[in-house]
Amino acid sequence: MNRLLERFLRYISMDTQSCETSGTVPSTKAQTAFAAMLAEELQQAGLQQIHLSPYGILTATLPANTNRPIPPIGFIAHMDTSPDFSGADVQAQIHPDYRGTDLVLGNHIVLSTTMFPQLKQYTGYTIITTDGTTLLGADDKAGIAEIIYAMEYLTAHPEIEHGDIHIAFTPDEEIGRGVDHFDLPAFKARYAYTVDGGGEGEFEYENFNAAQAEIMIRGCNVHPGSAKGIMLNSQLIAMELQQMLPSRQRPELTEDREGFFHLCHINGTVELSTLSYIIRDHDKNEFEHKKLLLQQCVYQLNQKYGQCISCQISDQYYNMKEIIEKVPFMVDLAKLSITQAGAVPHILPIRGGTDGARLSFMGLPCPNLFTGGHNFHGKYEFTVLESMYKASMTIVNLARNYALADIPDHI
């Protein structure tokens, strides 16, 4: 585990935030630099066919060590960290033999067992946090470290029979662009897993259906002293629109498979207001209903105020469940491999999305494995070293189990 820890700490020392306002691919130069460093490490680890695409996607292959026909599998993680919180100058803190109490990170910031009760389940484990000034970067540098460690393990243990294993590290997953330029035919895997999940044993093969809505409201500004019958305050219309949406369908009031409308950004003056929403639901019918409801609200306000609102809704990704249900062996082998690694499989719906959701609809079934991390995208993020090791061993076990099972070459 020391080798795995050293690798992870080295990775999180690099600031690889993605940037949603950037027009470049990848969105930040730091991701390209990180990919170049990883390419050298993959070569040292004995992987072959290492390729860094012009779009910042790094791929490599661990060749099969048997002549038996085994469908090639893949493991995928992303290189960027969230733009929601700083990932610069991460100061990791190691808490060995955790005692089940609150952890003081620094600057009077406390990782509280009251706020985060899942901490106590890791009593006796090694917890990795920051000093409270940055995120940690386990999302998804833990996944990258675990995949590379697993490849090294397989290389060092040739007695473990496996087919071709293809790995990919993508940029810009956090801003929804991770697989925009993914060369699926060149990747060659028939089945794959993202290593981008949460706590120990978690396995996910269903996620939100997702859409984004961009709304523009044009008002009319005149001097307030002579505004009667003339002024149209776009900010007040924006507030009215928000109040028309179901009050209980907000992220902070929903859980499990409950969907929501989330107002991400709002900017306004009397003359012009813009709003950005994301719309989420696991159920496809409810998802379509939510999009229609927003459009109906806009229509009603346009009728009331005179065609002052434009609304553009674009789908982002869909629930991979309908794809993964066609390949149930992927779920069965994942659960077996997690158990063999010493963890308890815990199947959850993702209240979000992964590169795997989009890849599944592109033709590569791709559910999601745990990394050992918690509380992503903020100062309370932490990961558990022993869980990271079990994630690596889950990857090793999957490679072995795919070689032992009777797997179809394609869906």
Both structure tokens of 231: 């002024």
| Residue 49 neighbours by CB under 8 Å, 6+ apart | 59, 60, 61
How distant, in Å, are the alpha carbons of 113, 230, 241, 305, 308 from that of 226?
Answer: 57, 8, 26, 19, 21
Which is nearest to 27 in space by CA: 35, 18, 39, 36?
18
HSE-up of residue 309 (Cα within 13 Å, Cβ side): 28
Residues 17, 87 contacting (CB under 8 angstroms): yes
Q: Is 173 a catalytic residue?
A: yes
Sign of the CA dihedral 133, 135, 141, 142?
A: positive
Catalytic residue among 15, 80, 139, 281: 80
Q: Catalytic residue at 80?
A: yes
Give which of 315, 54, 373 is closest to 176, Cα–Cα: 315
Active-site position among 139, 146, 173, 381:
173
Closest among 213, 212, 195 to 204, alpha carbons compared = 195
CA distance 139 to 149: 17
Q: Annotate 6-41 with b (16+ C-beta within 10 A) or e (fewer).
A: ebbbebbebbbbbbeeeeebbbbebbbebbeebbeb
Rounded Cα distance between 274 and 265, Å, is: 8
Question: Taking phi first (over 0 means left), then psi (-120 to 50 degrees means alpha), and beta for anything else, what does residue 297 get?
Answer: alpha
* Cα angle value 329/333/338 (rounded, 5°): 150
Query: Token match 């050293």: residue?
Result: 6
The identity of residue 192, as a single letter, is A
User: Which residue numbers are catalytic?
Assistant: 80, 173
